[in-house]
């Protein structure tokens, strides 16, 4: 069945460091892919998305490219800030008719000043 695998956390970085959070997926067909962020004490909110192969989603300095050949959707940011400390979730949406929507386990990011 469909699944999403995220790198284990927590990830601890210094401010202005480069961030990569890996996400790979297994799916039948051509899913849509998403990244969500959950700041401390808050709900989940969409960070970015890509709906077809080679699409690049971007928002707030974060980017992720839908790579069909490697079934990946890695999240990157060139220079993290303390305010980026949060839990990041990769998600997959089936587009073939079930509309199942599944999430990875989440990766906690802590950025130190």
Partner 1 sequence: SQTIHQWPATLVQPVGSPLSLECTVEGTSNPNLYWYRQAAGRGLQLLFYSVGIGQISSEVPQNLSASRPQDRQFILSSKKLLLSDSGFYLCAWREPDRGLSEAFFGQGTRLTVV
Please select the residue that binds partner 1; options are 20, 60, 83, 101, rule is CB under 8 A. 101
Say how far apart CA 107 and CA 113 lie, in whole Å: 19
- Between residue 60 and residue 99, which ones bind partner 1 under the rule CB under 8 A? 89, 91, 93-96, 98-99
24 touching partner 1, by CB under 8 A: no
Would you say 41 or 113 has its CB closer to partner 1?
41
Say how far apart CA 71 and CA 61 lie, in whole Å: 23
Rounded to whole angstroms, the maximal C-alpha distance in the chain is 46
Please select the residue that binds partner 1; options are 41, 43, 69, 70, rule is CB under 8 A. 43
DSSP state of 12: E
Please select the residue that binds partner 1; options are 21, 73, 85, 104, rule is CB under 8 A. 104
Cβ pair 62, 18 in contact under 8 A: no
């Amino acid at each position: 069945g469909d699944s999403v695998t995220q790198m284990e956390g927590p990830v601890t970085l210094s401010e202005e460091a480069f961030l990569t959070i890996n996400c790979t997926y297994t799916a039948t067909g051509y899913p849509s892919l998403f990244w969500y962020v959950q700041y401390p004490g808050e709900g989940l909110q969409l960070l970015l998305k890509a709906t077809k192969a080679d699409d690049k989603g971007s928002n707030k300095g974060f980017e992720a490219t839908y790579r069909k050949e490697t079934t990946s959707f890695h999240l990157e940011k060139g220079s993290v800030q303390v305010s980026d400390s949060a839990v990041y979730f990769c998600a997959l949406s089936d587009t073939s008719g079930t509309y199942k929507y599944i999430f990875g386990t989440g990766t906690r990011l802590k950025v130190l000043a």
